[in-house]
Amino acid sequence: MVGWSDLPADLSDTAALQRLNDHLPPEALVISSDLSRAIDTASAIQGQRRRLPHNPDLREIHFGRWELRGFAEIEAEDPELAFAYWDNPGDVRPPQGESWNDVRNRVDSAIDALIATHMGRDLVIVAHFGVILTQVQRALDLDGQQTFSHRIDNLSVTDIALEGGSRSIGAINHLP
pLDDT the model gives residue 87: 87
pLDDT the model gives residue 64: 97
Q: For the chain, which residues score pLDDT lower than 50? A: none
Domains annotated for the chain, with CATH where assigned, are 15-174 (3.40.50.1240)
Spatial neighbors of 53 by CB under 8 A, at least 6 apart, are 31
pLDDT the model gives residue 44: 97
SS3 category, 91 = coil
pLDDT the model gives residue 1: 87
